[in-house]
A and B are shown apart, each in its own frame.
Chain A
Amino acid sequence: MRLKCPNCGWRDIREFTYMGAASMMERPAANAPIEEWDAYLHLRDNPDGVTRELWYHEYGCGAWLVVTRNTLTHEVIKCELAEKVAAKAAKKTAGAAS
């Protein structure tokens, strides 16, 4: 399996560290109820099929990636920089608030 780092191109999986579901980017507020924190930290959709996850390009450019991948076939569908995904999400939230 290889991942296409937006900075470095297609790289061997050995260069990356897996961090789990991309839902880790949706951190609840500090005062959110314990159920929300439990869901954030522990509960997972764990789909057999397309999933979004965080990978760290540890032995490369050091970027965090949001990888869209199929867990049944190991097909890599999309690799985005996590900072761009986060910025987009923040913009959307700000837009919804205004």
Chain B
Amino acid sequence: MDFSGRFSGLRILKEGLTGNKGWGPHWKDATPKEAYDVVIIGGGGHGLSTAYYLAKNHGIRNVAVLEKGYLGGGNVGRNTTIVRANYMMPGNTEFYSHSLKLWEGLEQDLNYNAMLSQRGQISLFHSDGQRDGAIRQGNAMINQGDDAELLSVGDLKKLVPFLDYKQARYPIYGAILQRRAGTARHDAVAWGFARGASERGVDLIQNCEVTGIDIEGGRVTGVQTTRGAIKAGKVAIIVAGRSSKVAAMAGMRLPIESHVLQAFVSEGLKPCIDHVISFGMGHFYISQSDKGGLVFGGDLDFYASYAARGNLPTVEHVMEAGMTLMPAIGKARVLRSWGGIMDMSPDGSPIIDKTHIDGLFIDCGWCYGGFKAVPGSGHVMAHLMATGEHHAAATKFRLDRFRTGQNLMDEEGTGSQHNLH
């Protein structure tokens, strides 16, 4: 079968005229070999992008990605698809800037249509204090080299006339607009990285659950899986909500608690929301997919959960926030909702680091914001695994920062403690 054919307008034309018989699978469904230089546990967005950049940037191609279910079937296939770089804290701001730049060249790099749509993100504010905070954040974004514009209510009314500007409790005072932010097709991101990794020789192995991590004399030597033992020179744990469980196989306890985050999609509507809009007085954000569904979400349920489903109070809370911001969406019917498992860290920021075990690396703590980080996380993780040094854009995501208290990245300023983010 042909795994390597490049996509192009000409090829689409040719296939269209010849009955679309020339399309093959996009990647090879591999069976495990006895040993690899690198084993990546987790075939989600971050694991696949790590494998891709290991092969492409560092020439490390004897790599296996082990996925317990199907490729891209976890959070990368179940999110609200928003891409942005509007972080403020040192450590975060340079990383998300780096990731957004990778997004901007991603489709050409992967030769894959990830449907990146830089439609702009409008982050609303609703008080004088919030305006000051937003200006500070916008300045931090500009200092980082990214874009941010301060919008007045007059500017906003031209862009998004359907918001409830006269809302008595939460009047809209303005917004920060990042034009380079937007959305991407989440599944295509996973498939594109999978294809890019596969054609460079990476083995993508599905239905292969890791059941143990082999360690000898303080050094990782391989993994035990449901498809047999696999030897490895280096192992990366990149499993999002399952991080604590997999790290426990190496005798580690992580500063992570897994929570449920729900999201929602309405029935398909004609184009009506052209941007990503986030409400400043309640956790609510919304965009419209290319299929027409309104994609929106809000707060965590705020209790530990691996159930991949939430409870009704949070559903009600999200709907209330949506109706407060834009009453018109009350006319749309909700098509479906779902819950994902979020690896919450105490300060709300991620971890990309070595562990105390030689050759064992970890990439976790993405909380509810991992999608925008998919290219950046894989890029810097591959750099760390290949060179042993942290990439310049990700020097502060240390596993031990909670113990040392250095370089905590608490964007919301609520405290570096579980259950506050």
Determine whether B306 belongs to the interface, using a CB cutoff of 8 Å to chain A.
yes
CA distance A17 to B403 in the complex (A): 26
Query: A74 contacts B418, CB within 8 Å?
Result: no
Interface hub of A19, A47, A71, A73 (most chain B Cβ within 10 A): A71
Determine whether A92 belongs to the interface, using a CB cutoff of 8 Å to chain B.
no
| Least Cβ–Cβ distance between B407 and chain A, in angstroms | 14
| Least Cβ–Cβ distance between B416 and chain A, in angstroms | 8
Please classify the interface of chain B as helix (H, G, I), strand (E, B), loop, or mixed, using the class held by over half of its residues. Answer: mixed
Q: Give the interface segment out of B42-50, B253-261, B384-392.
A: B253-261
CA distance A57 to B302 in the complex (A): 15
Determine whether B313 belongs to the interface, using a CB cutoff of 8 Å to chain A.
yes
Determine whether A80 belongs to the interface, using a CB cutoff of 8 Å to chain B.
no
Chain B hits for A47, CB < 8 A: 244-245
Query: A39 contacts B303, CB within 8 Å?
Result: no
Given contacts A42-B402, A42-B403, contact A71 B418 (CB under 8 A): no
Which of B244, B313, B403 is the one whose CB lies under 8 Å from A34?
B403
Contact residues, B289-306 vs A (CB, 8 A): 302-306
Query: A42 contacts B307, CB within 8 Å?
Result: no
Given contacts A12-B313, A18-B302, A46-B257, contact A41 B307 (CB under 8 A): no
Interface size class of B (residues with CB under 8 A): 20 to 34
Query: B402 contacts A41, CB within 8 Å?
Result: yes
| Least Cβ–Cβ distance between B293 and chain A, in angstroms | 27
Which of B255, B303, B307 is the one whose CB lies under 8 Å from A18?
B303
Given contacts A1-B311, A14-B313, A35-B403, contact A41 B253 (CB under 8 A): no
Interface size class of A (residues with CB under 8 A): 20 to 34
Given contacts A13-B311, A46-B304, A51-B304, contact A18 B419 (CB under 8 A): yes
Query: A38 contacts B402, CB within 8 Å?
Result: yes
Query: A19 contacts B419, CB within 8 Å?
Result: yes
A-B contact pairs, 26 of them (CB 8 A): A1-B311, A13-B311, A18-B303, A18-B304, A21-B257, A21-B418, A34-B403, A35-B403, A38-B403, A39-B253, A41-B402, A42-B402, A43-B254, A44-B244, A45-B253, A46-B257, A47-B244, A48-B242, A48-B245, A48-B258, A53-B304, A71-B258, A71-B307, A72-B307, A74-B307, A74-B311
**Interface on B for A, CB 8 Å cutoff?**
242, 244-245, 248, 253-258, 302-307, 311, 313, 346, 402-403, 417-419
